[in-house]
Chain A
């Protein structure tokens, strides 16, 4: 018999259950906090905080960091929460990964080398972080929260996220590999 406990400890839910859950979560995020769920600005704030720890005032004077404000706020804590929530779900469902450097799909095409995967992840992260700030949003801020508000900027962004992503993934796996 399915109990609440067995639902919480199952590894995978139907994607529709997870998606509807995220939709309901965003109702409450608007109602309680007056904000949409979004994540990528927090990474930019973090990079600014790191720069200001190293070089002080210079970072705080950058127009972009002045615009987004280098402080720990609601959204920054939300990203911390995502790490914690995913950890919690992974632990209780026995899916926490130990010592996994190379995802199996990557390994099937490019081998088990951890260094190559980490360097490619670094390069991908740089492009992703830059693009997220260029577009002023990511898969959560534009792709989920913006599109559900029917924002024109978010629908355009989300469509081009997938155009860029689908083309690049095909190049990586069908031309380079």
Chain B
């Protein structure tokens, strides 16, 4: 009897815990997503033609958006990091994961014509190939990965481990010793793309 009461009590506590769980992150996530989706549409990358146009090297919109986001983000994030306001959130990786996974992703990127972020945008934009085949395919693909994961995780995914490291740490230099040249090179590349008429 006593035991039973105890169990009842703990389950009640758990319920309270769930009820008290902070819901604010969900609203912030939604808000950041709305702004991100708005910008993706305004930039034109919720459109198959623009994405595949980039992969065919006819239209450089995707690269322009990505590279200008990277330069802007990089400077701000490392500035805030140097003030101790934020911490980086790095993905660990390996050559097996990032080279092979990257190539597989690239094939899917070209066949589908959207990526996971832009397909969410394409769905909002009303493109029906994205709503049907594209979305169903991505869900199926992630499910197949989940099924195969036990066989992959200690094999190919571990080949050539990189850890979670940044380029400045790898080169053992000051952060800004990488940020400034990378930003400079990206800006030069963007100028060159514009001058070439893309």
Contact = CB atoms under 8 A, between A and B. Distances in A.
B27 to A, nearest CB: 8
A19 B64 contact: yes
A12 B42 contact: yes
A130 B145 contact: yes
A121 B123 CA distance: 13
Contact of B141 (A12, A125, A170): A125
Interface residues on chain A, size class? 35 or more
A87 B162 CA distance: 39
Given A34-B86, A90-B126, A124-B108, A85 B116 contact: no
A160 B102 CA distance: 5
B1 interface: no
Contact of A78 (B36, B44, B57, B90): B36
Contacts of B108: 124-132
Given A124-B134, A130-B104, A47 B142 contact: yes
Interface string A49-70: 0110000000000111100000
Chief secondary structure at chain B's binding surface: helix
Nearest to A33: B28
B146 interface: yes
B164 interface: yes
A148 B77 contact: yes
B25 interface: yes
B106 A82 contact: no
A164 B119 CA distance: 18
Most buried by B among A32, A34, A35, A64: A64
A24 B125 contact: no
Contact of B70 (A16, A18, A23): A23
Contacts of B68: 15-16, 19-20, 23
A31 B121 contact: no
Contacts of A140: 115-117
A141 to B, nearest CB: 7
Interface in B67-120: 67-74, 76-77, 80, 85-95, 97-120
A121 B127 CA distance: 12
